[in-house]
């Protein structure tokens, strides 16, 4: 049960009611006061004060002052009249309840309306702000445009001025030259004859320009040019300078080359030449030259040429033990195996060679073609014609102009078709 | 163009433009006048020379001359100011010098090269530089030849590949170092990135280097002084500025390079009135205006005590995009500071004004 506060004191004038309410030590905040047109409530738990007012008041303008443990209400009456009492007496419970609820509802509605009004205001403000900024930006833009326009016009004017000056200058010069010309003609008549003999090119020019009016310049130039001939140095004695162009490992300009891949290939080759396997124990018996993979490769090639395929294979084996990164060794050993009809070994070696021959660049084209052809041949001899054809076609792609490869590819295709029809 | 804070920077203002009915390869100002010369190739395979005059923000056609072969490049560099003869190189390798008042028959003509003359330059005329007037041409046949208009038929200097060497196209040539009667230097750029500097006084190769990408354009900042700076532009948007005052015996000239545009830089031209400002034109139709700043010390000693040059730095003053097609030719007017003409492959020639160059 709340504690009712009943020690209020009130005074009134025609238009206002002054109510003072002592709060028995309770602390009041603006939130604890609830006021509508006919209902006034102060609720500070556990204290409670409520009053059904005698007549409606203007609750928007009425004020409440919280001070020194009292609340002073200044309530402005809606109709100026003297009240008999502050509150309505003899109000039954139901009416009281009804009034209370009404009051709350009214307050709600009011709050809602206020909220809406606020929202609308906000929207309007926003719109206004936006328009204002837009105007400002427009103004700024216009200002810049104007500046640019002014520049342009100023410059155009200057240009016109300059051109007119040029014209005047030209005219002045031409009249001057005419005068000088007449003076010089007399003097230079004899010298002209001399000059005519010496210089040949000006001769052609004088006959053309003499009779033309080229702003008075043409005929003048004939004479002054002849004079100047003496002051200019003679034409240079002819000479040739030979030039060399910057060599490139790959003869294409930067924009045409595939530099990254080519660099990779070169790097790999350099690396390959440097690696030497560490199998030293058996190699100690060998002579110095036999430890050089290139020398061994050459030896192998010679053996192959002579027909001694086993010896060639041995040489390549040794070379590979020393350096297993040289693709050419695998390639040549594959050729030997082909001749020896070790077809599987041939396929293995060609595959290894192809592995080592990545990235595919123009430099290792011929090597790759050979690898594909040898592997293709091995496949065909094993009667794996489709694989063989694949390799031949790969070789053809790298080197489309090779007639032998084309012929062989055709043959294989026929063979495949023949077997398919047969089986 | 840049916004408000950048209005103190030079602005490139488009003053006039003219749509052409042919492909324009070169455009040049006629010295001491407000006239522009356009050289190009018509659709039917003949050469076109058109003379325009700049009048009140428009280009008016004064003369049109047709020639049998398309014309690639031209220069006024080797004639006197009174004569103003035009030297042209055409697609057939012919070098001709024309008197524009009587253009039917050339004043000088020679079939200088076997293939198209890509680039031409002249020195000794127009009151600039000293010494004999000479013209240099660079051609796709890999040779660079220097001609004297007083000597018929044979060049006075010929820079050709050694016998048996595969040739590279020469794309650009420029004269320089013509500060007295004897000294002269020719710089040539090739399509494999070679830049070669030939000394005509000693008839020898003075310096060469390779900048990896094909060289589209080379120019000295001034032809008539002791060679100071050389700008070389190349494909893929790079250009190099070489400091030519100090040559190191092995390292050559010091350089600074800048990557400007994603496309080829077709031309570089120095402002005649200020040799530290130059404009580059690019394959994306844009123009960039640059300023070179010298370093605190232009040369220093290296570990062996030899003098070595120090390159400065380049800063971008302004850039503007005018067209969607490459701007292949560019020329500053020698008479009015900031006035320039450029021709692009969209068959338009434009006259531009660059403002505020005085304040730099």
In angstroms, rounded to a whole number, what is the distance separating the alpha carbons of residues B202 and A62?
Answer: 109
Interstrand relation of B47-55 and B35-41 (parallel, antiparallel or unpaired): antiparallel
Position A133 pLDDT exceeds 90: yes
Closest-CA distance of chain B to residue A260, Å: 14
Higher-pLDDT residue of B27 and A180 is B27
CA distances from A406 to A87, A360, A378, A396 (A): 120, 21, 17, 7
pLDDT confidence bin for B116, thresholds 50/70/90: very high
Residue of chain A nearest B31, judged by CA positions: A166
Phi, psi of B137 (to 5 degrees): -125, 140
Mean pLDDT of all residues in A183-197:
65
The reply to whether residue B161 touches residue A244, judged by beta carbons under 8 angstroms, is: yes
Domain residue limits, chain B: 12-294+307-359
Question: What mean pLDDT comes out for the span A149-171?
Answer: 83
Q: Do B148 and A235 touch (CB under 8 A)?
A: yes
CATH 1.25.40.10 fits A290-417, yes or no: yes
Whole-prediction pTM: 0.57
For residue B283, give the nearest of B241, B329, B230 by alpha carbon.
B329
Complex ipTM:
0.70
Residue among A212, A232, A236 whose CB faces B101 most closely: A212
Chain B residues in contact with A152 by the CB 8 A cut-off are: 13
CA B171/CA B150 separation, integer angstroms: 26
The pLDDT of residue B69 is above 60: yes
pLDDT in tens, A287-311: 666 667 788 888 888 888 888 888 8
Interhelix angle A365-381/A343-356, rounded to 10 degrees, is 160
List the strands of the sheet with B238-248, edge to edge.
B215-220, B229-234, B238-248, B252-259
Q: Any idea what DSSP says for residue A53?
A: B
Which of the four pLDDT bands, split at 50, 70 and 90, describes residue A200? very low
| Cα of A256 to nearest chain B Cα, Å | 10
pLDDT over 90 percentage in chain A: 8
Higher-pLDDT residue of A39, B253: B253
Query: How far, CA to CA in Å, does B257 sit from each of A369, B191, B211, B349?
Result: 43, 18, 10, 29
Q: Among the listed ranges A100-109, A215-224, B158-167, which one has the minimum average pLDDT value?
A: A215-224
Q: For the domain A3-88, what is the CATH code?
A: 2.60.40.790
Q: Over chain A, what is the mean pLDDT?
A: 77
The residue in chain B having the minimum alpha-carbon distance to the alpha carbon of residue A166 is B33
A·B CB contacts under 8 A:
148
In this predicted structure, what is the pLDDT of residue A114? 93
State the DSSP string of B246-284: EEETTTEEEEEEEE--SS-EEEEEEETTEEEEEEEEETT
Mean pLDDT of chain B: 89
CA distances from A218 to A222, A356, B20, B81, B330 (A): 7, 76, 31, 11, 29
| H or E segment and range at residue A155 | helix A93-198
- In chain A, residues with a C-beta closer than 8 Å to the C-beta of B336 are 159, 162
Distance CA A271, CA B138 (A): 43
In A, minimum Cα distance to B153 occurs at A238
DSSP state of A381: H
Element housing B353 (H / E): strand B348-354
Which distant-in-sequence residues (6+ apart) come within 8 Å of A132 by Cβ? none
The per-residue pLDDT for A192 is: 62
Residue B354's closest chain A neighbor by CA?
Answer: A155
Q: Which CATH architecture has domain B12-294+307-359?
A: 7 Propeller (2.130)
Please give the DSSP secondary-structure letter assigned to residue A289. Answer: G
pLDDT value at residue A217: 38
């Amino acid at each position: 049960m709340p504690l009712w506060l009943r020690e209020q004191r009130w005074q009134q004038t025609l238009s206002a009611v002054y109510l003072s309410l002592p709060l028995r030590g309770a602390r009041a905040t603006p939130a604890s006061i609830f006021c509508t047109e006919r209902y006034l409530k102060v609720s500070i738990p556990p204290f409670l004060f409520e009053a059904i007012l005698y007549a409606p008041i203007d609750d928007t303008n009425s004020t409440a002052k919280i001070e020194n443990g009292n609340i002073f209400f200044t309530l402005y009456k809606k109709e100026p009249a003297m009240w008999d009492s502050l509150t309505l007496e003899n109000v039954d419970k139901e009416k009281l309840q009804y009034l209370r609820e009404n009051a709350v509802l009214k307050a709600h509605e009011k709050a809602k309306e206020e909220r809406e009004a606020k929202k609308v205001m906000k929207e309007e403000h926003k719109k206004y702000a936006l328009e204002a900024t837009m105007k400002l930006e427009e103004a700024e833009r216009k200002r810049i445009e104007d500046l640019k326009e002014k520049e342009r016009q100023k410059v155009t004017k200057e240009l016109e001025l300059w051109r007119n000056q040029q014209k005047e200058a030209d005219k002045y010069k031409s009249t001057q030259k005419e005068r000088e010309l007449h003076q010089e003609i007399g003097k230079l008549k004899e010298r002209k004859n001399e000059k005519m003999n010496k210089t040949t090119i000006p001769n052609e020019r004088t006959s053309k320009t003499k009779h033309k009016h080229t702003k008075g310049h043409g005929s003048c130039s004939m004479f002054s040019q002849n004079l100047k001939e003496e002051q200019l140095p003679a034409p240079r004695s002819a000479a040739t300078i030979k030039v060399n162009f910057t060599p490139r490992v790959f003869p294409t300009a930067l924009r045409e080359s595939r530099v990254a891949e080519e660099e990779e290939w070169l790097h790999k080759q350099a690396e390959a030449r440097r690696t030497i396997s560490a199998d030293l124990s058996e190699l100690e018996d060998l002579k110095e030259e036999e430890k050089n993979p290139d020398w061994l490769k050459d030896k192998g090639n010679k053996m192959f040429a002579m027909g001694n395929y086993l010896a060639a294979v041995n040489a390549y084996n040794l070379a590979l033990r020393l350096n297993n990164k040289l693709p050419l060794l695998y390639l040549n050993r594959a050729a030997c195996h082909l001749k020896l009809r070790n077809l599987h070994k041939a396929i293995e070696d060609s595959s290894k060679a192809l592995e080592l021959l990545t990235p595919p660049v123009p430099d290792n084209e011929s090597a790759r073609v050979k690898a594909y052809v040898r592997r293709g041949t091995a496949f065909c001899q094993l009667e794996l014609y489709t694989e063989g054809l694949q390799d031949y076609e790969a070789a053809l792609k790298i080197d489309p102009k090779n007639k032998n490869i084309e012929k062989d590819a055709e043959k294989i295709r026929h063979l495949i078709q023949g077997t398919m029809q047969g089986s | 163009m840049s916004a408000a804070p950048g209005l103190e920077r030079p602005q490139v203002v488009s003053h006039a433009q003219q749509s052409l009915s042919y492909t324009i390869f070169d455009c040049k100002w006629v010295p001491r006048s407000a006239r522009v010369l356009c050289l190009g190739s018509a659709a039917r395979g003949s050469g076109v020379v058109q003379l325009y005059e700049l009048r009140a923000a428009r280009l008016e056609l004064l003369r049109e001359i047709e020639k049998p072969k398309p014309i690639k490049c031209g220069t006024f560099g080797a004639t006197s100011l009174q004569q103003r003869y035009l030297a042209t190189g055409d697609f057939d390798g012919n070098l001709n010098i024309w008197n524009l008042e009587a253009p039917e028959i050339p004043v000088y003509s020679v079939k200088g090269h076997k293939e198209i003359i890509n680039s031409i330059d002249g020195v000794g005329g127009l009151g600039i530089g000293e010494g004999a007037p000479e013209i240099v041409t660079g051609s796709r046949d890999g040779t660079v030849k220097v001609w004297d208009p007083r000597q018929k038929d044979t060049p006075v200097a010929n820079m050709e590949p050694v016998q048996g060497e595969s040739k590279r196209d020469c794309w650009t040539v420029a004269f320089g170092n013509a500060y007295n009667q004897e000294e002269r230097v020719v710089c040539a750029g090739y399509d494999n990135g070679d830049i070669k500097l030939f000394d005509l006084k000693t008839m020898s190769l003075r310096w060469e280097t390779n900048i990896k990408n094909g060289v589209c354009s080379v120019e000295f900042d001034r032809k008539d002084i002791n060679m100071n700076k050389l700008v070389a532009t190349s494909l893929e948007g790079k250009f190099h500025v070489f400091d030519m005052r100090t040559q190191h015996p092995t390292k050559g000239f010091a350089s600074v390079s800048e990557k400007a545009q994603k496309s080829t830089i077709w031309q570089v031209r120095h402002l005649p009135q200020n040799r530290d400002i130059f404009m580059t034109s690019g394959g994306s139709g844009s123009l960039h205006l640059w300023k070179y700043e010298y370093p605190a010390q232009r040369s220093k000693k290296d570990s062996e005590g030899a003098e070595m040059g120090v390159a400065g730095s380049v800063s971008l003053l302004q850039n503007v995009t005018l067209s969607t097609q490459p701007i292949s030719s560019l020329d500053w007017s020698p008479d009015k500071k900031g006035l320039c003409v450029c021709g692009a492959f969209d068959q338009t020639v434009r006259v531009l004004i660059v403002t505020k160059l005085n304040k730099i």
